[in-house]
Chains A and B, each alone.
Chain A
């Protein structure tokens, strides 16, 4: 039998070419980026329900971060937990803050915060907070962020009677 070596070699070459052209022989690729942002501030449904406000906490630990009035709801003002208040500018008019009797009204931990109407004792606190002459004043510099263990709002017209805080934090 005469072997045609040239034909044999041609068959092997063809087989090799087919194998090289099979799946996975060639590739093309592209690299892309992934940006991840993790927000650690959560709204606590439990604390928000307890306080009738929107309470934000540090998600992993539940540590209090901020409290603010819930949309279209009043802020009751009396709470049993230690809250850190982040008061935006003009949140509390200077005129309604009585600071002389409470040296703790500054940044840091304070035991109580008393808000009184010093300018108009004949009107209710709720009305006083909306008076144009005090609403336009700048935020009291001592009312910076700090931890508040309790908060009561007094109506100076009816001494000692807590009133509902109507300001929006």
Chain B
């Protein structure tokens, strides 16, 4: 019985000590350093542009849409490696335009919170003869590269 009482006394003393410690407050600041590497991505890649033109005919336009998503607020610019798709003796300039085909897009753009939508537009002006010795000629070999710099 005496032994049991001594164990009980020890437990109570320990509990009292713990309670006394919890009553005090000690804090230490924790620094959180966040590094965000800004980036851009072509989230909607441009597809194939199909241009069908009749020799000496009316002007023809064709385009493909694409989308760019960047870190919000990041400045970026867009360019094509070659700004034309000349083929079969036809002059076919290429331009990056807004998604409504209202304006050319040049220079630096500032990214918003969501994807920005654009088009690559190919234009064939009227009255071009082209080089084609048969009724119909096709050139599917042309490719261009769209680059986003940021």
A interface residue numbers (CB < 8 A to B):
21, 23-42, 58-60, 65
Total interface residues in chain B, CB < 8 Å: 53
Additional A-B contacts beyond A28-B147, A35-B138, A38-B90 (19; CB < 8 A): A24-B150, A26-B149, A27-B147, A32-B64, A33-B143, A34-B85, A34-B94, A34-B142, A34-B144, A36-B51, A36-B92, A38-B131, A39-B136, A40-B132, A41-B135, A42-B54, A42-B56, A59-B54, A59-B57
Q: Which of A25, A28, A32, A37 contacts B48 (CB 8 A)?
A: A32
Q: Which of B56, B66, B87 contacts A59 (CB 8 A)?
A: B56
Question: Is B47 interfacial (CB-CB < 8 Å)?
Answer: yes
Residues of B42-63 at the interface with A, using a CB-CB cut-off of 8 Å, are 42, 45-57
Alpha-carbon separation in the docked complex, A23 to B149 (Å): 7
Q: Do residues A34 and B57 form an inter-chain contact, with CB atoms below 8 A?
A: no
Question: Is B145 interfacial (CB-CB < 8 Å)?
Answer: yes
B interface residue numbers (CB < 8 A to A):
38-42, 45-57, 64, 66, 75-77, 85, 87-90, 92, 94, 108, 120, 122, 129-132, 134-140, 142-150
Alpha-carbon separation in the docked complex, A40 to B40 (Å): 43
